[in-house]
Structure 1
Amino acid sequence: MRYIEDIHRKSKIVFPEYIDDYITEDNPVRMIDAFVDTLDIVELGFKNAVPQKKGRPGYNPKYLLKLYIYGYMNKITSSRKLEKATQTNIELIFKYFVSLLNEWDLFGKEIVAVDGSKFRACNSKKNNFSTKNLNRKIKYLEEKIEKYMIEIEKNDNTELSTAKPTKEEIQSKIKELKERKTRYEAYKKEIEKGDTKEISTIDPESRLMAVNNNGIDVCYNVQTIVDSKYKLVVDCDVINNPTDHGMLSKMTTSAKEIFEVEKLKALADKGYYNAEDFKKMRRTGSYNLCFKQIFSNATGESDFYLDKFKYDKEENMYICPIGEKLYFRRQKPIDENTKKIVYQNFAACGKCDFKDKCTKDKRGRRVRRSIDQDFLDRVDQRTAENKELYKQRQMIVEHPFGTIKRGLGMTYFLTKGMPSAKMEISFAFLASDFVNIT
């Protein structure tokens, strides 16, 4: 059997007559070309959307936009070009594309899934400051300044060696340390005003967040809502709150407006478990499936986790894992929106052989029940009854994140500020939806 023969470099070849013949019929660039041609670039705020009458002719902004979308789909990005692109309304372009997908009947409009993922911001951890690390840095600088002052005093009283730093060099170091200390103290005062709990000096809107493998980084929290039919992103948002609380109803409402439907079934993970948000969902006619978090006790003994305490509604009390009764004591406000009902029985706890496994409180175990717990119990029951439907959540919503992180190579932001980050992620999900439909 012969090998596949290649074309000899001195052979004559006949090229296609038209450039378009080089492009296969199913190539994604045809979809990009058709989509961008439908956009009104004047309305979208593109610079040079109308050609200038004088001077050298420029490139058509539509051509550049087509090139950029294609580049994003193939892991080719440029931070400078991207920064310039975010000055136009990329978010609106994404929403227009979603409306086209809606017209083409590519959304199921019944089941959606909501999820969030942390993307590293354009701000390193060393340029992020909180009260805790500022106190540590200021203390370190004070110790260094004191050490240098002692060194100057020693140099004044003894013969200097040529190997040691001179008095002028030490004074220069002290000046530098004092300037840094002054800067840190200014950051600390700004935090103490109460407007923010941390300061990021490169991208002021970014925040320190927990990421994978118990690490932390300066990030934005990217939110998506994805339709179940073809795993297409319906809408996205960028927030600097590390938690997902409050975003379930917001993202679902956005999807309802796009779909023009009265209700949706929304699937979400434990990070979205929030009574106030669930109530908003109910008021708007939609309902959610969301498993609750299981919180450990202070000792870490799983046999005495909160879920092991059974509530008796008729008697309004809790029964602990070994059968003792915890009675209602008071209602305790946690914050302006949250109140907890406290149950306890210190007399029983005082003589319990398992007290050290149950709590670290010397008096005994306290169980706190939300005033919305009856409502949350109904949500829990509904979720438990629809486990098979809930299992689809990961397959629906984590697919687009996998596409842009692994397929398109986007794991961090190139631009600064929440508006620019939102435009950048809109580009990414626009490319993701293109990938999924082509």
Structure 2
Amino acid sequence: MQHIQGISRNQLRISSLEDAISSDNQVRFIDAFVNTISILRLGFSLQTLKKEGRPSYQTPVFLKIYLYGYLNGIRSSRKLEKECFRNLEMQWLLEGICPNYHSISDFRKNNPVALKNLFKLFVCFLKDIDLIGAETIAIDGTKSRAHNSKKANFNQKKIDKHLEYIENKTQEYLTALQENDVQENPVIIQNIQEKIERLKGNKLRYELLEEKLKASGEPQISTTDSDARALLVQGQVVEISFNIQAAVDAKHNLVVATHTINRNDRNALSAIALEAKENLGIATYSALVDKGYHNGKQIEICQQANITTIVAQPNQGKSNENGTQPDYLVANFQYDKNTDTYTCPQGETLHTTGNWHKKSSSKDGYNFKKYRTSKCKECAVKHLCTSRSGGREIDRGQYADAVEENNKRYRENPQLYRKRQEINEHIFGTIKRQWGYNHTNLTGLEKVNGEHSLIMLVYNIKRSINILGVPDLIAKLHKWNSPYKAKVLFLLKTNHLKLTNALDFYLMKLVA
């Protein structure tokens, strides 16, 4: 059987780059999108023309490189430089331009805020073409390993351990020298003085690190990336990492808000929830959130912003007393808002003096009131309720009303809450497992924020292409851009434009 034969390398062909790129190739959307937006309005640093030296590359060139690179799992600046030479799609996209890796790398480091603005602008576009429902949004976070090893992360306990080791080792060397001096035939100890001097240098380094840690007011410090933190990843596993927050719309599982923090989820709910509301320019929506975000203060902030939260209720512990049986947990005490009292399972009423107490002085602290009843001392089932000699005591925090309303919604909407994992969990799986974006090589929280915004942007681009296709998406982009540009220009000229957060992003499309 005759095999299929290839084309001779010496065969002369007449063709263009345009002929090599199909109409549904994703690079055509990248090109159309970058050519539509206003680089200056978004805050990208522009390459200025100089009278001497080699001409610079235009800023959109680097943006196209990174959008193409991240869409195809390539983020190394050196690998992107190679793709500019050998990749036919990249040659079409850049029209044959091949910047060096250093210039490519500088663009990503110098434009973190602009990349975040670009992500927000694309969210506005997705909402206007009806790919975002803006009714139900799932919020979650995932850890991304930082460019900082565990050895380069320190807390006070770790520093004390190193200093103790240095002290013991130094004393060991000094004792060995003393014992050697009193012997009749002393043995020559090699390099011991050098070892002692090296220990002194290490001790000074750890003491300076200790001073820096105390001055920062933080419980830990990282030396390679000062913004990186040791965060709990899963179970008891701790990694030096950042925490990517993402709000995902339920209609087509598109990301509508994202930012990166260097702490756990406990105090992160309100910031990402408010960002989603601002990016979409909506009055209200329902937020589905797991129990790691359950925090009274955060839930109340969302409530005040007209965001309906359904945050999973953590497992109910005992009360603030030991020995409580399941039937006498706090959840079984009925609170009456009108009388500001609790009624216990035995029908007795617990009252408060009305005095507020402070839980703690940290940022997680809150005020609370205590509720008691003198009937506890005479109660026949007191031993089932509490081991406290003075009787049962219940604390009610200042955010209890908001928490109880949230918990009620959670119990009444089990089917809706179950959609949370379907909406946002696969996004992190795609980004980290399939694309390999489970770490960052950038340092500093602002730069890491920029890279993660770029990752979420290309996720939205790829998903919207899968939904609509490239030709349809480009057509909607052109249709979306032209009428609004004319409308904004008219409002600006007639002084009828009232700037809002949403309109600010539309204005970015205008030519500076």
Which residue of structure 1 aligns with residue 497 of structure 2?
A: none
Q: Distance between the aligned counterparts of 2:453 and 2:310, measured in 1?
A: 27
Q: Is 2:417 the partner of 1:420?
A: no
Give TM-score, length-normalised by structure 2: 0.73
- Determine the C-alpha separation between the residues in 2 that align with 1:394 and 1:54: 57
Please tell me the residue identity of whatever aligns with 1:263: T
Q: What is the CA-CA distance between 1:341 and the residue it aligns to? A: 4.0
Deviations 1:343-366 (A, max 9, x none): 6799699998879xx88x899986
C-alpha displacement at 1:328, in angstroms? 6.1
C-alpha RMSD of matched pairs (Å): 3.5
Matching of residues 71-110 of structure 1 within 5 Å: 71-78=69-76, 81-82=104-105, 84-88=107-111, 89-110=114-135
**Deviations, residues 244-300 of structure 1 (Å, cap 9, x unaligned):** 42x333222222222222111111111221222222222222211111212545999
Once the two structures are superposed, residues 86-125 of structure 1 have per-residue CA deviations (whole angstroms, 9 ceiling, x without a partner) of 3022222222222222232221111111111121111111
Q: Secondary structure at the match of 2:284?
A: coil
Q: How does 1:227-376 map to 2 (within 5 A)?
A: 227-245=249-267, 247-294=268-315, 296=317, 304=326, 310-313=332-335, 316-317=341-342, 332-335=357-360, 337-342=365-370, 368-376=395-403
Q: Give the distance between the partners of 1:281 and 1:418, measured in 2 at CA.
A: 25
User: CA offset at residue 410 of structure 1?
Assistant: 0.6
Q: How far apart, CA to CA, are the structure 2 residues paired with 1:313 and 1:42? A: 56
Is the contact between residue 111 and residue 264 of structure 1 (CA under 8 Å) also seen in structure 2?
yes
CA distance, structure 1, for counterparts of residue 205 and residue 347 of structure 2:
56
Superposed CA offset, 1:109-161 (max 9, x none):
11111111121111111111111111122111111111111111122233344
- Residue 116 of structure 1 corresponds to 141
CA distance in 1 between counterparts of 2:143 and 2:377 reads 46
**1:187 is paired with a residue of what secondary structure?**
helix
TM-score by length of 1: 0.84
In the comparison of the two structures, how many residue pairs are matched? 425
Q: Deviations over 1:51-97 (max 9, x none)?
A: 55654444443233222211112221126644541302222222222
1:201 aligns with 2:199: no
Rounded to whole Å, the distance in 1 between the matches of 2:291 and 2:323 is: 21
Asked if the contact 2:273/2:287 (under 8 Å) is kept, the reply is yes
User: d(CA) in 2 for partners of 1:305 and 1:117?
Assistant: 37
Deviation per CA, 1:13-34, whole angstroms, max 9, x where unpaired? Answer: 8968332333233222222111
Q: Give, in whole Å, the separation in 2 of the partners of 1:137 and 1:306.
A: 48
Q: Output the CA distance in 2 between the equivalents of 1:132 and 1:326.
A: 47
Q: Which moved more, 1:390-399 or 1:16-25?
A: 16-25
| Range with greater deviation from structure 2 (420-429 or 274-283) | 274-283
C-alpha displacement at 1:383, in angstroms? Answer: 1.7
Which is helix-richer, 1 or 2?
2
Q: Distance in 2 between matches of 1:147 and 1:306?
A: 59
Q: 1:435 aligns to what?
A: 462
Q: Which runs of 5+ in 1 are unaligned?
A: none
> Shift of the alpha carbon at 1:217?
1.4
Relative distance call for 1:415 and 1:299 in structure 2 (3 A) is farther
> Which residue identity is paired with 1:77?
R
Judged with a 3 Å threshold, the aligned counterparts in structure 2 of structure 1 residues 348 and 216 are, in CA distance, closer, same or farther, namely farther
Identity across the alignment (%):
30
Instruction: Write the distance in 2 (CA, Å) between the matches of 1:188 and 1:11.
Output: 69
49-58 or 34-43, larger mean C-alpha shift: 49-58
Structure 1 residues 123, 387: CA separation in 2 closer, same or farther (over 3 Å shift)? same
Amino acid at match of 2:253: K
